[in-house]
Structure 1
Amino acid sequence: MTKLIDFTTLYVTKSHILFVILTWISIGFLKAQETPAKTPLRIDAVKDTTKQKDKITATVVLDTIVKDSLSKDSTAAKKGKSSLLDKIRYKAIDYAKISQKRKEILLYNEAEVYYEDTELKAGIIILNYEKKEVYAGRIKDSAGNYTQAPYFKQGSNIVEPDSIRFNYETKRALIWNSKTEQDGSHVTAEIVKKENDSTYFMYEGRLTTSKNPDDPDYYIRIRNAKFVPKKKIIAGFSNMYIADVPTPIAVPFAYFPLTQERTSGFIFPTFGELNNRGYFLQNGGYYFAVSDYFDLALTGDYYTNGSYGLRADTQYRKRYKFSGNLGLRYENLINSQRGFPDYSRGTIYNIRWSHSQDTKSSPSSQFSASVNLGSSRYYQNSLNQFNSPNQLNNTLQSSISYTKTFTSYPSVRIGVTASHQQNTRTESINMTLPTLTANMDRIYPFVKRNSSRKGIIDNINFQYSMRAENSITTTDSLFFKKEMFENARTGVRHDIPISTSFKLLKYFNLGMSTSINEVWQLSTIRINDYDPSLRKSTIDTIKGFDRFTTYDFNASIGTTIYGMFNFGTDKKIQAIRHTITPIIGYGYNPSFDQYFDSYVANEFGAVRQYTRFQGGLFGTPRQGFSNTMSISLINKLEAKVRDRDSTKTEAKKITLLNNLNFNTSYDFNTNRISPIIMTGSTNLFQNKMGINFGATFNPYAIDDAGTQLDVLNINNGGGLARLTNANLTMNYSFSSKNFKGKDNTNNVATGGRPDDLFGTAQDFSDSRTMGNTEEGDDTEEAPTEYYRTSIPWDLRVAYSLSYSNIRRESEISNNSLMFSGNIDITPKWKVGASSGYDFKNQGFTYTQLRFERDLDSWRLNFNWVPFSANSSWYFFIGIKSSMLSDLKWDKRKVSDRSLN
């Protein structure tokens, strides 16, 4: 809220202060028109010698004062009664003296006056009820120092000057050496003149956002200004002072929008130079505060060689309903100059949309969107510094979905989804436009609803699900063109799984299931016999509805075995429990030969079989029956350890191994064993480090050429199985704050990773991307007497290792380490780095160094990518307060990128 009479200080939630040079107004003229003559405050204060020494507070109300019997001035009494009685309340500690001759009330020491919505407190107050004026000032203490400065409040506006003169009827006021503060902004002025509720004049004012307004590190000196509360400030000659030293940063005329609501305004661009493209202006434009529900920012870039970029960003939100943001990017990139051999021109674009719905708004239906699509080379070729950390992204993904649930029994859930996946390296795009799904809840037909189920019959249940999909595979060059729809595939799949389960011999769980599947297609194929003239077999596409039905049968039996190893309650590790879950499964899939035909494949008369459903979206019918047995072994290790807290009597349970799984199968038709697949995971250091590992073992031998033989490896002089590949990934995230890592959500908003392993994506010159950068929002740890004993820091590490030995190559196919961290080396200095090392290729991955300096009211940032094709740097210094965020200077050098 405002704290200066009716001043609304220079702050807007999303403002970008606009210093527009309009005209030169004579300072002398402004003084003559807006500066009142400085009138000395004449106060004759006579101390009441009859006051009691204990200074008991006496509240004096006018209608209780005993009137002078020698004075019969009925006119004065009438005026006093009409103007003060029942309206003004006042009190003071030392005394409240009434002078009928001067028509004044003198209040001394902690004096207070209350009138309507006005509150005045000061060391001394003189109230003239004839002129309807109030004078307030300071008093001296026993040491001769001035104390009890006036405190003036009108409505929600507060000012604390040295002295004040106020007419409580006309609401006019003169204020000397006023001070006010609003949301981190401090305004002081030698003289303030209040004409009415909508007009104020200020002489010799200072504006700063420093935390120390009495001795600010910087301020803007305003000679003369006119205030329109809650709307604007129009100032004369103004310039910036840093450490009380005037700077060349000055304007003859300044305009400050004055509102606590979001306001529209210009976004000042940043300046720089780029090789082969000349000088540039980046991220300049206009911000539209359309309403309380959404806004719009239109920004752009321009380069003197003709390149340009356009962007539109909007955020919207409706409480308890939905929220989201939308961003559109387009860049026209020109390399070199027309007529030169290296001249090229290209366009890139990007669309980002995020939408989420409040679950309370509609529990039975949900709509969500997460879109990131565009040119495959957008992040790599974009000239804007803001996109640099996203250059390593290899995929763009999007999903838009709507689901509706019908809660009647059985409940049915229907969903419509459009998805998109794009590989930025191969420039291939896979889309589903759209996918329709319908799922019916599980039904138990042989038991009443909500009744207990026992035995094989009661547990029989079935479901129904349907998936209809239109799939498109295209390339970046054909995206959004009619050619992308030519090879679209459409299909519908229906599934009805039927299953039951029951206990067998008390300790075993037996489950049986069958599934009926039907696939619909809108086109099939026919392969013609070999044509000697064409020297090949031709394929015809037959339009029209067709379908095929398949079914299968599966059964499984499993149990759970527990093993306990006790070491004693006096040990640190008291016990280890090993949980083993073996599962044996059986699957039978019949052959559906009725869906297969044959054709002559070559001139030698070779006959081959095919199905007309080849190329379908949901696969083809199975030819040849399958008769397999699968074996799975699931392991889990837990431990009981003595708690470090000696007051706790029970042991602490921890997980040593989340899972260690082995899977394989045996085909009775071919008498072959499938590869053994091992997977596992665990967490260490209080779940701060996640470890995932896996391996594949082939039980069959290979010859010298690497071809697999139909001979078991153990029968060929080898071991039980060959290790063909293995992988290991580790992620570690911790910090000085209870080993908690932190995410950089800014990267998600810009299409990057949720962490900052690829660096951060921030435009420091745009306060809209910086979150809350207001002063006073200090979340760092409180330093100790020696700051080095409590240095805030955070670190994220990711390690990946892959091994391949399919044909005895025995090589490390991938071995890389990535890390990102930040450290506050002092309360004002923060440094960070994101990098990695590829041990296989022996080189560093994308590296970014970050430096940040807190200059109290200012912020200094320097981001540097020291090497690679994306080398660049970015320097910024500016005021932290969003109110003056356009008082900044930044410099950047971005890498030159050739257009493909």
Structure 2
Amino acid sequence: MFINMCGFAQDRPNSGGEIHPVKKGDSVAVNVNSILKPKEAASTVELTEKGQDSIKNDSVKPKPEFLTDIVNYKAKDYTSFNRKEQKLYLYNEAEIIYGDMEITAGTIVIDYSKNEVYAGRIKDSLGEYSQHPVFKQGTQVVEPDSIRFNIDTEKALIFNSRTEQAGGFFDSEISKKENDSVYFVQNAKYTTSENREDPEYYFLLRKAKVVPDEKVATGLTNMFIYGVPTPIGLPFAYFPLTKKQTSGVIFPSFGEQNDRGYFLQNGGYYFAINDYFDLAVLGDYYTNGSYGIRLESKYNVRYKFNGNVSFRYENLITSERGFDDYAKNTIYNIRWSHSQDTKSSPNSRFSASVNLGSSSYYQNSINQTNVSSFLNNTLSSSVSYSKTFQGEPQVNFSATATHSQNTNTETINMTLPTIQTSVSRIYPFGNKTGSNKGIIENLNFQYNLIAENSITTTDSLFFKKEMWDDALMGVQHSIPLSTNFKLFKYFSLSASSNFEENWTFNTINKYYDTDLEEEVTVDKSGFDAYRTYNFSTSLGTTVYGMFNFEKEGKDRKIKAIRHVMRPSVSYNINPAFDNYWDSYEVVSADGLVEEEVDFSRFEESLYGAPNQNFSSSVGLSLSNNLEAKVRAKDSTATEDKKITLLNNLNFSTAYNFAGDSLQWSPLRVSGGTQILDDKMSINFGAVLDPYALDNNNTKIDAYNINNGGSLFRLTSANLTMNYTLSSKTFSGEDESRENSRNETLRSGGRADDLFGVAEDFADQRLNNNQQENQDEQKESGSLYNYKVPWSLNLAYAVNYSNSARQNEISSHSLMFSGDVEFAPRWTVGASSGYDLKNQGFTYTQLRFERDLLSWRMNFSWVPFSSRSSWNFFIGIKSSILQDIKYEKRKQSDDQL
């Protein structure tokens, strides 16, 4: 027994062991001297050293070694080598490392006679298997029940293996590893479910070829849902496994529209061009001949710039050729967004935000992603480049092209381009070392230049040569001169004067045609200019008032209220430049002069005509701010809490000394505040006119109070309230649905979902913001209702008009949008509103979503209005299998 124990101990190294490769000698020994010399030169030529080396090459190749690298191994219980069987046994937490191969298992056996490695599980005292093998080679990880690996061929047989490939999971009964890049599997389950023990679904691959990180090619396969086979299957299938950006087909969704028939929508091809640029080509087709084409591209160069470009074109046919209601319409939309990293070029910047196209695009588009944008009535674009030239003084340059389009009137205003140049402020008498003080040291001026080419056209003439016919060009030079200083310690006085010179290339001339008996305007082309100047000054101060409510021995809730007032008085002088004005006489048929009409040749130029009348006015304004200090709700807080009662409350009016009547301007009141912990914002405004109206509701030069009325007439008023709140507000988490909202903003819509949500359920780019797993809240037995996720957006607006005694509410509406997860993985949302004046609901969208773990199900419904429609979708979340889906749409009927 002693001998056996000692012998066993010799086979158990304390710290594992190493097996070094054995160097074998050459099987054939070659003696150079035994090689015969050539007969002709044997006596005169001797073998050189080079010659000896060249004939020393062995003609018989040596047998390759079994181990070409060091083998490191260890085990917790024991390691034993059986010389008779030529096997090395490792037991309990066994590990072997050979090159890039690593195996950990309960037991490992190395068979030197067959050059194989076997790894398997071990059984504990209860008969349960534990310590499953884990086979790692490079980036590949396999977790089987057991494995046989041949070191010579690097082939392996793997039993009941479990591995992950690019977000998908394989559970295979038998796998054969052919080499590092090919596996053959039999009766394998493929799924993207996180629940490996009981997946929601899987595909049974009876025989398949797996190329890691590339693809899976399989024969007969069908889907199982919770272990139940379904008829969803194919005789052969292909699953992509790549982790890189790859090109591929985008499967369309289908549906039906009454007047256009059946359709396929959002199908196409995705081109992964390179790491910086991609392209998606999508299309729609209707059986009546309507079609749509969309090009979507994104680009991103890290630390330099990023952006996206899209072009959309739709050819829409209504009814069928030969019918009275047959119509054909083409619409398009171009969007471009570009932003530059500020660090890439600190002194220059290029940016773009473009959204232009047909005025009726969002109203008539057949694509689901435009649901939340069809209420847009304005499209706008801006492309700009700016550069700063450092120096003293600093020079700033910018070139901008802008576009503004009203989709209701189909009017388009563009500037192509606007060039601005400015020189930073120059203080000729300023202090070179410290701050400037006094009227002289603060005296400064600068130079500004604006050159514009303005175009006003319509939707029908856009991108046609006629749009340039009425283009206006002009250049404006301005030199503002200003200073400011303290007066009587508490007052701040500022004074400024501005000189402008305006260049124009479009002037007019007017005269009265006695034959036609009408005014005739003649356009003139050529350079012309006029110069103007003005003067203004303002005096202001800040007054602080503190109302203290604290009393000794009492802990009041409101500690104090602070009132900040900022009164200001301004005076403006605008001289009359009547030298730029002319006149013509209106002559009657009898030759008598009926009236004399004044006009300026510059009145239709880009910057308009200069002042004809002298203006001398004083302006009065008062702004208020109210804050309160209240007792903190937290008893442990060391300081009181500050809250805002009124962000601002402003009053402003003016009096024109040079006016012959109606010298007072209406008193304008505006204000705003935030309540409910700054979750609700309230803004209001009113216009109060001191003058009265006559019987024809025309303003007259008489005070309203002297005409039997009050001091002011309320001519208009408005009130808006916005309220945004969610359960995530209290937990500090960010709002979701970010991509969908960005899509809406790019189209000119709202970000608060009050006009609905941009939804294309099959497009992962709009729906990759699924909620994270909330296991701590959704586990069985947990109190789910303790914390229900929800969100709410409210917008209320009312406008009052009474400028001509109409005394009416011109608009009155309430809009709301919200989502609530009323049960685990069930979310319901709605966007709607109610017109309180016309007594009717506004555009309404209802949303239902079910999180099915590996799947998602969505239903969107517009229940009424001319855009009544619905969209149902169910599909796999994973981007690998996102084409496995079912989608059914019912779009709105244009005939309604």
TM, length-normalised to structure 2: 0.90
Q: Distance in 2 between matches of 1:538 and 1:80?
A: 108
Query: Is 1:155–2:138 an aligned residue pair?
Result: yes
Counterpart of 1:623 (choices 597, 606, 612) is 612
Offset of residue 230 of structure 1: 3.0
CA deviations on 1:355-386 (whole Å, 9 max, x unpaired) are: 11110111111111111111111111111222
User: Which amino acid in structure 2 is aligned with residue 167 of structure 1?
Assistant: N
* Whole-angstrom CA distance in 1 between matches of 2:382 and 2:229: 55
Q: Structure 1, residues 172-223: CA drift from partner, whole Å, max 9, x if none?
A: 1110110012454211111111112232211111110112122111101111
Aligned partner of 2:527 in structure 1 is: 545
**Which residue of 2 is the match for residue 30 of structure 1?**
none
Aligned CA distance change for structure 1 residues 98 and 685 (closer, same or farther; 3 Å): same
Q: Which amino acid aligns with 1:352?
A: R
Task: Please list the CA deviations of residues 36-95 of structure 1 after superposition, one character each: whole Å capped at 9, or x if unmatched.
Answer: xxxxxxxxxxxx988999x99943325699xxxxxxxxx9xxx99964596101111221
Q: Is 1:591–2:579 an aligned residue pair?
A: no
The answer to whether the 8 Å contact 1:701/1:709 transfers is: yes
How far residue 766 of structure 1 moved from its aligned partner, in angstroms, is: 2.0
Matched, 1:778 2:769: no
Cα distance in 1 between the residues matched to 2:532 and 2:344:
42
Does the residue aligned with 1:768 lie in a helix, a strand or coil?
coil
Alignment of 1:317-396 (within 5 A): 317-396=300-379
Matches within 5 A, 1:372-771: 372-528=355-511, 530-568=512-550, 570-603=555-588, 604-605=592-593, 606-670=595-659, 672-739=663-730, 742=735, 744-771=741-768
Offset at residue 510 of structure 1 (A): 1.1
Aligned to 1:25: none
Residue 797, structure 1, aligned to residue 794, structure 2: yes
Decide whether the 8 Å contact of 2:574 with 2:615 is kept in 1: yes
Aligned counterpart, 1:893: 890
2:321 partner letter: R
CA contact (8 A) 1:58 1:95 kept: no
Once the two structures are TM-superposed, the CA of residue 779 in structure 1 deviates from its matched residue by 6.7
Q: Secondary structure at the match of 1:720?
A: coil
- Per-residue CA deviation, residues 655-706 of structure 1 (Å, 9 max, x unaligned), is 2111101000001122611100011111112221111110000001112321
Structure 2 CA distance for aligned equivalents of residues 51 and 520 of structure 1 = 108
The structure number with the bigger radius of gyration is 2
Contact conserved, 2:132 with 2:143, CA < 8 A, in 1? yes
Taking the aligned partners of 1:325 and 1:424, their CA distance within structure 2 comes to: 24
Name the residue aligned to 1:60. Answer: 16
| SS at 1:769 equivalent | coil
TM-score (norm 1): 0.90
Query: Quick one: distance in 2 between partners of 1:698 and 1:49?
Result: 112
Q: Map Cα deviations across residues 705-734 of structure 1 (whole Å, 9 max, x no partner).
A: 211121111111221111100001111111
Superposition deviation, residue 169 in structure 1: 2.9
Sort the Cα spacing of 1:413 and 1:423 in 2 relative to 1 into closer, same or farther, 3 A: same
Please say which of residues 827-836 and 711-720 is displaced more in the overlay: 711-720
Deviations 1:249-300 (A, max 9, x none): 1111112233110111110011111101111111110000000101100010
User: In 2, Cα distance between the equivalents of 1:51 and 1:708?
Assistant: 120
Larger CA deviation: 386-395 vs 154-163: 386-395
- 1:713–1:719 Cα contact (<8 Å) kept: yes
Label 1:602 to 1:756 Cα distance change in 2 as closer, same or farther (>3 A). farther
Would the aligned equivalents of 1:352 and 1:751 in 2 still touch at CA under 8 Å?
A: no
Mapped to 2, the partners of 1:64 and 1:878 lie a distance apart of 55
Q: Deviations over 1:75-126 (max 9, x none)?
A: 9xxx999645961011112211111111110111111111111111111111
Deviation at 1:593, TM superposition (A): 1.3
* 8 Å CA contact retained: 2:166, 2:241: no
Percent identity, aligned pairs only, is 57
For 1:821, the equivalent position in structure 2 comes to 818
Residue identity matched to 1:227: V
Q: For the residues of structure 2 that align with 1:523 and 1:255, how far apart are their CA atoms?
A: 67
1:72-83 → structure 2 map (5 Å cutoff): 83=66
Structure 1 pair 794–438 and aligned structure 2 pair: CA distance change class (3 A)? same
Matches of 1:244 and 1:577, distance apart in 2: 70
Distance change (3 Å), C-alpha of 1:588 and 1:338: same
For 2:856, the aligned partner's letter is R
| Aligned match for 2:156, one of 167, 173, 184 | 173
- Relative to structure 2, which stretch is displaced further, 672-681 or 127-136? 127-136
1:248 aligns with 2:239: no
Instruction: Give the C-alpha shift of residue 308 in structure 1.
Output: 0.5
Which residue number in structure 1 is paired with residue 37 of structure 2? none
Does the Cα contact within 8 Å between 1:270 and 1:284 map onto a contact in 2? yes
Query: Alpha carbons of 1:700 and 1:49: their partners in 2 closer, same or farther (altered >3 Å)?
Result: farther
Deviation at 1:572, TM superposition (A): 1.1
Mapped partners of 1:666, 1:236: distance in 2: 88
1:231-258 residue CA offsets vs partner (Å, 9 max, x unmatched): 3222111111112122121111112233
What residue identity is the alignment partner of 1:801? Answer: V
The amino acid across from 2:234 in the alignment is V
What residue is the counterpart of 1:23 in the other structure?
none
Question: Cα deviations across residues 146-171 of structure 1 (Å, max 9, x unaligned)?
Answer: 11111111112111001000012321
Matches within 5 A, 1:46-125: 58-62=14-18, 83=66, 87-125=70-108
1:858-880: CA deviation from partner (whole Å, max 9, x where unpaired): 10000000011111100000011
Moved more, 86-95 or 391-400: 86-95
Asked whether the equivalents of residues 696 and 726 of structure 1 are also in contact (C-alpha less than 8 Å), the reply is yes
The residue type equivalent to 1:363 in the other structure is P
Task: Name the stretch that deviates more: 761-770 or 300-309.
Answer: 761-770
Superposed CA deviations along residues 2-61 of structure 1, whole A, max 9, x for unmatched, are xxxxxxxxxxxxxxxxxxxxxxxxxxxxxxxxxxxxxxxxxxxxxx988999x9994332
Aligned with 1:404: secondary structure?
strand
CA displacement at 1:428 relative to structure 2? 1.0
The residue identity in structure 1 corresponding to 2:722 is N
Structure 1's unaligned 5+ residue stretches are 1-47, 66-74
Tell me whether 833-842 or 485-494 shows the greater mean CA deviation: 485-494
Q: Which residue identity does 2:805 align to in structure 1?
A: R
The Cα shift of 1:738 comes to: 2.9
What is the aligned length?
Answer: 838
Work out which of the residue numbers 869, 877, 887 in structure 2 matches 1:880.
877
In structure 2, do the counterparts of structure 1 residues 442 and 781 end up closer, same or farther at CA, with 3 Å as the change threshold?
farther
Q: What amino acid does structure 2 have at the position aligned with 1:479?
A: F
Report the Cα distance in structure 1 between the residues aligned to 2:71 and 2:384, rounded to whole angstroms.
65
For residues 573-613 of structure 1, the C-alpha deviation after alignment (integer angstroms, 9 at most, x for no partner) is 11101111111111111111111111113424222211110
CA 1:702/1:50 → structure 2, altered by over 3 Å: closer, same or farther? farther
CA distance, structure 2, for counterparts of residue 125 and residue 81 of structure 1: 24
**Is the contact made by 2:19 and 2:70 (CA closer than 8 Å) also made in structure 1?**
no
Identify the structure with bigger relative contact order (alpha carbons < 8 Å, sequence gap 6+): 1
**Change over 3 Å in CA distance of 1:781–1:431 after alignment to 2:** farther
Structure 2: how far apart are the matches of 1:446 and 1:780? 69
AA aligned to 1:614 is E
Using a 3 Å threshold, how does the CA distance of structure 1 residues 85 and 340 change in structure 2: closer, same or farther?
closer
Partner of 2:190: 207
